[in-house]
Amino acid sequence: MKDEITSRDDRVANLKGMGCSRKRVEDARFTQGKGNYVDDIKLDGMLFGDFVRSPYAHARIKSVNSEAALKVPGVLAVLTAEDLAPLGLHWMPTLAGDKQMVLADGKVLFQGQEVAFVVAEDRYAAADGIEAVEVEYEELPVIVDPFKSLESDVVLREDTVDENGKATDGAHGPRKHPNHIFTWEVGEKDATEQVIDEADVVATETMYYHRTHPCPLETCGSVASMDKVNGKLTLWGTFQAPHAIRTIVSLISGLEEHNIRVISPDIGGGFGNKVGAYPGYVCSVVASIVTGRPVKWIEDRMDNLMTTAFARDYWMTGKISATKEGKITGLHCNVTADHGGFDACADPTKFPAGFMNICTGSYDIPTAYLAVDGVYTNKAPGGVSYRCSFRVTEAVYFIERMIEVLAIELNMDAAELRRINFIKKDQFPYQSALGWEYDSGDYHTAWDKALKTVDYDGLRAEQAERVEAFKRGETRKIMGIGLSFFTEIVGAGPVKNCDILGLGMFDSCEIRIHPTGSAIARLGTISQGQGHATTFAQILASEIGLPADSITVEEGDTDTAPYGLGTYGSRSTPVAGAATAMAGRKIRAKAQMIAAYLLEVHDDDVEFDVDRFVVKGAPERFKTMKEIAFAAYNQAIPGIEPGLEAVSYYDPPNMTYPFGAYICVMDIDVDTGVTDIRRFYALDDCGTRINPMIIEGQVHGGLTEALAVALGQEIAYDDQGNVKTGTLMDFFLPTAWEVPNYETDHTVTPSPHHPIGAKGVGESPHVGGVPCFSNAVQDAFRPFGLRHTNMPHDHWRIWKTANSLGMHD
Amino acid sequence: MIPAAFEYYRPKDLSGVISILEEHGDDARVIAGGHSLIPMMKLRMADVPHLIDLQDIPGMSEITVTADAITIGAMTTQHDIIDHDGLATAAPILREAALQIADPQVRYMGTVGGNVANGDPGNDMPGLMQCLNATFTLVGPDGERTVPAREFYEAAYMTAREDEEILTAVTIPTPKGGYAYEKQKRKIGDYATAAAAVQIIKDGDTCTAASIAMTNLSDTPIWSEDAAAALVGTSLDSVALKAAVDAMLVDIDPSEDNRGPVAFKRHVAGVILTRAIERAWSRA
Ligand SMILES: Cc1cc2nc3c(=O)[nH]c(=O)nc-3n(C[C@H](O)[C@H](O)[C@H](O)COP(=O)(O)OP(=O)(O)OC[C@H]3O[C@@H](n4cnc5c(N)ncnc54)[C@H](O)[C@@H]3O)c2cc1C
């Protein structure tokens, strides 16, 4: 075959490998409405199932009467807990080691809880059937406050007490109270308290990180099809971890794993909401087994907001101590975590509060202690990581607020306080007081670049002038400069300490090179908008020297993809991306032997060069990867098996630690509470950059979700446990109109332990963005005496802050 | 979010509509753009066994502008209002207000008639129409009658329209002077936290006439005669502005919701009204 591209640069460009802003291959179908989502799946004879949901947050169920419902034309069946109990499916395990009702077993614990599953010919008949099911409830006292829950005589979960009413042990140790789930402690309590007692300066603050929701554009759903002839179950669904779902389905249903095929088709956003298992999945499977027909279940928006996995709901109290000069000496953090009616977070088993212990942030804090208490209340279950790994957003918000509060206490500039406490470049790998080994970082360089780009000193001078003008009555607008410097922890994770329900958190890639020099790669992950088909092909292109355009990436079908733990917590590039590179290297190793044979030299005498192997010192003698692929299949080579395939399972040696510096400049109208983001600068260091355009897209999306959470997005309950924000009228999803122009920037500090040095970027902008937006609001009020106020900073809460500071007098 | 089953009708003339309304009484409702009614049906908060579509009724989407009066057919969409240049010259407040309703998708569907007939305190057009002293034309089994916008709204979703009447048109005396529609909302697509419609006539330095209406601050729109009166005869100094705001605050009665508590809404109502008056004055 003739090699027409001659210059080396051309050959590199032709690959569209790492570093190239290659256009997303997914977008052709998404922009033309040709995606294939769960609700697009239509099978012959398919039925539709939907739930009767509880209007009450806490009630005993006295009876469920389906008689009238079964008379509704088109309704075939109504499943209740009683029907599931003989199969042992009325409860199911959660990913957090707890269990959860599939259908209300005698009582309900939150508004919207699944009570009965109506199976009908179509969704209209199902909706009418739901109306006709008569449920008799006896209301019980409602607890929506986790602190009150720990003092209440009301036992929410009967399975948390023994016959004497004493609290039994939970999945993570003893309970302090029947409504208590776990206590998780990290670090040195006594030493930390001593450091704080003896410190020059101590800042204390309590903050509430409100409950919110990932709200993916596509809601959750599934289609189950049980083939009674061959005994095989096919389950399509909105699964961020299809293999884990297969294993769970096998464990709880008793079907053998080879008889279950789980398929995640296109997924319209996940953000953590689609990691866990939902009653709808189980019920669609049972209904398909019962009826012998495929059954679809799709949530509507209200179902999704009210019942599927929420995020946050963390009450955090911190103490941070420092010397007079501002050198931090200790950090103490106490969290009360509201998990709702069931503990359904998706954290690795050994980390019941996720990676909250990254809460020492980017700072060299010698002594620290963290304690988290998980509590049951009458709210929906969840506690997932919304665009962050396992509580990292909470941790980063906590430390970035504590830094600001400490700066107030020290009467010091918050940018300077950060600078003097950053972990220094030469301290990496850095052992944190709460147990992590940060792989690499160069915080000072990033920070200085950020401050210089926005002219930080100029902004502070302008802010000072504005404060004076406000005091003189010349303006009603104040100005805030939001700072945030975050260190992320992603890529879960090393199997020795990371598993979910006992499943090790490795990931995988399997590659087959076709004889004509194109390839298919399959991974254990699943894209929900991250562009895996684009970026993973780029990694491979650089590793194996075939153009990215000639490589198909396929994910999400457990019958074809190698086992993996899925996509969430920015783990795909750190874990599956590493597996991809490693599998690529296996391909290359075999290709090297083939090339040497074809070139009639020793293996060690050829070397890889972009898209070919060349004879060392004689670059005109080469074999391209395309030629090698052809030979691998079609030429008898002594001592080498035909074919060119490889598989790699990658168990990461460590997590990766992306970081970044964000700055937000905001104007606030103190009379209306309206905020106006004038500027947002985001510097991200995610290590090696695979596709800069996709990185930028991820940053824009993550920042927008951060803006939403900081400025108004919440799941609010009244004291009777009614959800007040169950539709998009009240649940804030920003549109292009509310979103500012983002300026993105970067530094590159590769991960030393990752095969290509990449660290992951999907969640960084959210993790760093939330404190940045919040700090901008709080910073605007700092000159007027504010220390801390809780998010979300919507209009009325900002107005209230101004009002309480006397700014309307 | 699936509505209960309903019969769908698409009559070709008004008498066809009226006869279905007469036959089914409370069980029948007309649908215009559907962007208020359909969400209520999907939430099963509105039960409409007989749904009568007005799309095929001729002559209900016209806009006529004369020197004295503007007539807008009930089926005119909010987008049509924004798009109509004659209207923009004759009554620019209509375009300014319509641009602050919902988002383009909703405005392509939502109609003026639906907006004013709905009786939702959150709708922007009722207050606007009160400010402009519009009259609504209603056609029913007994023929046609008109009702002033200022007398149309009785309580949330309760209006002077009888069940078997159709609102066919809105007529506005061509407005004079400066105008402003000022609205605070949480995001695009949101109903008002507080909104104010203001028309002001200025003679030299003096305000000779004014009209003020507030939206989403009571269970009906609030046309505040006293607030307007506080401006007339003044040159809109800070004392007059404050008097107008104080008068308006007596008339409104907001309730707490996710947009905020009552104290906040009252404060914002004052700020929004002040801004609207200042802007209208600057254009007068
Ligand atoms: C996301 C979203 C945001 C919105 N934001 C705003 C906003 O900010 N401000 C705002 O003002 N509105 C807003 N709306 C409402 C929108 O403007 C509606 O379209 C409008 O209120 C109703 O007009 P319609 O033609 O859709 O009426 P429909 O929904 O068809 O009808 C509404 C009611 O009026 C009755 N009706 C309709 N036409 C007639 C008639 N000719 N005679 C008698 N009765 C009639 C119907 O029977 C029904 O009871 C929003 C809607 C949505 C979906």
- Among A650, A672, A694, identify where a domain stops: A650
Structural tokens at position A572: 């795909």
Say if residue A19 is in the same domain as residue A127: no
- Asked if the structure places residue A497 within a domain, the reply is no
Instruction: State pLDDT tens for residues A621-651.
Output: 999 999 999 999 999 999 999 999 999 999 9
Q: Identify whether A195 is part of a domain.
A: no
Structural tokens at position A612: 């070919």
CATH number of A623's domain: 3.30.365.10
CATH number at residue A131: 3.90.1170.50
Provide mean pLDDT across the span A714-718: 98
Report residue A252's pLDDT band, with 50, 70 and 90 as the boundaries: confident
> What count of other Cβ atoms lies within 10 Å of the Cβ of residue A682?
27
Range A99-103, long-range pairs (CB < 8 A, 24+ positions): A99/A159, A99/A342, A100/A279, A100/A342, A100/A344, A100/A381, A101/A279, A101/A342, A102/A279, A102/A282, A102/A283, A103/A79, A103/A279, A103/A283
Q: Atom of ligand 1 at shortest distance to CA of B100?
A: 8
Contact A387, A240 (CB under 8 A): no
Disruptive mutation site among B8, B120, B182, B186 for chain A (greatest number of A CBs within 10 Å):
B186
What is the spatial distance between Cα A443 and Cα A453, in angstroms, rounded to a whole number?
A: 15
Q: Whose CA is nearest to atom 7 of ligand 1?
A: B101
Measured CA to CA, the distance from residue A76 to residue A53 in angstroms comes to 18
pLDDT in tens, B181-191: 999 999 999 99
Does A99 share its domain with A240? Answer: yes
Is the domain of A93 the same as that of A237? yes
pLDDT in tens, A562-598: 999 999 888 999 999 999 999 999 999 999 999 999 9
How far apart are the C-alpha atoms of A253 and A101, rounded to whole Å? 15
Q: Is A588 a catalytic residue?
A: no
CB pairs under 8 A between A and B: 64
CA distance B108 to A284: 38
State the average pLDDT over residues A667-689.
Answer: 98
Report yes or no on A200 lying in a domain.
Answer: no
CA dist., res. B138 & res. A202, Å (int)? 71
Q: Is A387 a catalytic residue?
A: yes
Of the given ranges (A162-171, A359-368, A381-390, A524-533), which has the lowest mean pLDDT? Answer: A381-390
* Mean pLDDT, residues B190-207: 97
What is the rounded distance in angstroms from the CA atom of residue A703 to the CA atom of residue A742? 8
Mutation target for B interface from A72, A219, A727, A796: give the one with most B CBs within 10 A. Answer: A796
| Domain housing A77 | 38-140+219-267+275-307
Whole-angstrom distance, CA of residue A483 vs CA of residue B66: 57
One domain for residues A348 and A439? yes
| Distance from chain centroid for Cα A105 | 31
In this predicted structure, the answer to whether residue B236 has a pLDDT above a threshold of 70 is yes
- Report the number of distinct structural domains present in chain A: 3
Strand segments (E) across A598-658: 606-609, 612-615, 618-624, 645-650
**SS3 of residue A204 by DSSP:** strand
Enumerate the CATH 3.30.43.10 domain ranges in chain B, comma separated. 7-53
Between positions 653 and 672 of A, the ones with CB within 8 A of B are 671-672
Residue among A127, A672, A725 minimizing CB distance to B258: A725
Q: How far apart are CA B20 and CA A647, in angstroms?
A: 69
CATH dotted code for B7-53: 3.30.43.10
Q: What SS3 class is residue B211?
A: strand
pLDDT band at A5 (very low <50, low <70, confident <90, very high): low
Catalytically annotated residue among A100, A111, A113, A240:
A240
Q: Give A663→chain B minimum CA distance, Å.
A: 23
Query: Does A577 share its domain with A627?
Result: yes
pLDDT band at A500 (very low <50, low <70, confident <90, very high): confident
Contact (Cβ atoms closer than 8 angstroms) between residue B212 and residue B279: no
A-chain CB neighbours of B2 within 8 Å are 123-124, 126-127
Per the CB < 8 Å rule, is A712 touching B44? no
Q: Are B172 and B87 in contact (CB under 8 A)?
A: no
Burial class (CB in 10 A: 0-12, 13-18, 19+), A36: exposed
Q: A400 and A468 share a domain?
A: yes
**Rounded-to-integer distance, Cα A515 and Cα A512, Å:** 10
Distance from CA of A731 to the nearest CA of B (A): 10
Whether A4 has a pLDDT exceeding 60, the answer reads no
The model's pTM: 0.97
CA B274 to chain centre: 20
Largest CA distance in chain B: 61
List, chain by chain if needed, residues with CB within 6 Å of any ligand 1 atom.
B 29-37, 39, 54, 74, 101-102, 106, 109-111, 113-115, 117-118, 123-125, 166-167, 189, 191
Domain assignment present for A437: yes
Report whether pLDDT(A216) > 50. Answer: yes
Judge whether B105 is closer than 8 Å to chain A, CB to CB: no
Smallest CA separation from ligand 1 atom 47, residue: B30
Cα separation, A608 vs A594, in Å, equals 12
Q: How many angstroms does the Cα of residue A191 sit away from the middle of ligand 1?
A: 64
As a whole-number percent, the residues of chain B with pLDDT over 70 amount to 100
Class of residue B106 by CB neighbours under 10 A (exposed 0-12, middle 13-18, buried 19+): middle
How many Å lie between the alpha carbon of A146 and the closest alpha carbon of chain B?
22
Q: Say if CB B268 and CB B193 are below 8 A apart.
A: yes
d(CA A649, CA A220): 29
- DSSP-derived letter for residue A576 is I
Cβ-Cβ contacts under 8 Å for A291 (sequence gap 6 or more):
A47, A76, A77, A119
> Which chain A residues are within 8 Å of B193, Cβ to Cβ?
795
Q: Is the pLDDT of residue A1 over 50?
A: no
CATH 3.30.465.10 domain range(s) in chain B: 63-173
How much of chain B is helix, strand and coil, in % rounded to 5? Answer: 35, 25, 35
CB contact under 8 A, B44 and A795: no
CATH topology of domain B63-173: 3.30.465
Task: Provide, as residue numbers in chain B, all residues whose Cβ is less than 8 Å from the Cβ of A729.
Answer: 189-191
Answer yes or no: do A437 and A328 share one domain. Answer: yes
What are the residues whose beta carbons fall under 8 Å from the beta carbon of A16, sequence distance 6 or more? A22, A538, A541, A547, A548, A549
Q: What is the pLDDT of residues A176-195, one digit of tens each?
A: 999 999 999 999 999 999 99
Does A332 lie in the same domain as A472? yes
Q: What SS3 string covers A253-272? A: HCCCHHHEEEECCCCCCCCC
Measured over the CA atoms of residue A618, residue A619, residue A621 and residue A625, the dihedral's sign is positive
The residue type found at B204 is G
Q: Are both A618 and A706 inside the same structural domain?
A: no
Query: Would you say residue A507 has pLDDT above 60?
Result: yes
A679 within some domain: yes
Does residue A165 lie in a domain region?
no
Q: DSSP assignment, residue A577?
A: I
Please check whether residues A467 and A361 belong to one and the same domain.
Answer: yes
Q: Which amino acid is at A406?
A: L
Cα B71 to middle of ligand 1, angstroms: 19
Angstrom distance (rounded) from CA A595 to CA A611: 12
**Partners of A118 in the beta sheet?**
A50, A78
Element (H, E) at A466: helix A456-471
**pLDDT at residue A2 is higher than 60:** no
For residue A197, is it within any domain?
Answer: no
Reported as a single tens digit per residue, the pLDDT across A424-465 is 999 999 999 999 999 999 999 999 999 999 999 999 999 999
Residues A322 and A408: beta-carbon distance below 8 Å = no
Say which residues have a Cβ less than 8 Å from residue A504's Cβ, sequence separation at least 6.
Answer: A495, A498, A565, A651
| Distance in angstroms (rounded) separating the CA atoms of residues A726 and A269 | 19
Report the distance separating Cα A396 and Cα A399, nearest Å. 5
> What is the residue whose two structure tokens read 């407040």?
B93
Mean pLDDT of chain B: 97
CA distance B249 to chain A (A): 16
Q: What is the DSSP letter of B218?
A: S
Q: What tokens appear for A461 in the block?
A: 């001078």
Q: Give the SS3 label for residue A84.
A: helix
CB A611 within 8 A of CB A561: no
> Is B243 strand, coil or helix?
helix
- We find that the CATH architecture of domain B178-283 is 2-Layer Sandwich (3.30)
Strand A310-322 to A328-340 pairing:
antiparallel
- Written as six digits, the tokens of A41 are 């799946």
- Structural domain ending residue among the three candidates A626, A650, A674: A650
The residue type found at B147 is: V
**A378 within some domain:** yes
3-state secondary structure of A574: helix
A801 membership: H or E segment, kind and range: helix A795-804
> Which tokens belong to A373?
């208490």
**How many Cα atoms are found within 13 Å in the side-chain-facing hemisphere of A283?**
33
Q: Is position A388 annotated as part of the catalytic site?
A: yes
Place of tokens 């290297």: A585
Does residue A461 share a domain with residue A539? no
A554 is catalytic: no
How much is the average pLDDT of A12-35? 96
B235's enclosing H/E stretch is none
The percentage of chain A sitting over the pLDDT mark of 70, rounded to a whole number, equals: 99
**Together in a domain, A134 and A230:** yes
B123 vs B77: CA distance, rounded Å: 14
Intervals of CATH 3.30.390.50 along chain B: 178-283
Atom of ligand 1 nearest to the CA of B192: 8
Strands B63-65 and A107-108: unpaired
Q: Which residues of A touch B44 (CB under 8 A)?
A: 131
Tell me the per-residue pLDDT of B125-183, one tens digit each, with 9 for 90 and over. 999 999 999 999 999 999 999 999 999 999 999 999 999 999 999 999 999 999 999 99
Taken in order B53, B58, B63, B64, is the CA torsion positive or negative?
A: negative
Nearest by CB to A732, which of B103, B187, B263?
Answer: B187
Which of A621, A650, A679 is the C-terminal boundary of a domain?
A: A650
Residue count (chain B): 284
Contacts of B261 in chain A (CB under 8 A): 796
pLDDT tens for A405-426 read 999 999 999 999 999 999 999 9
**DSSP string over B129-154:** HHHTT-EEEEEETTEEEEEEGGGTEE
Reduce the DSSP state of residue A163 to 3 states and report it. Answer: coil
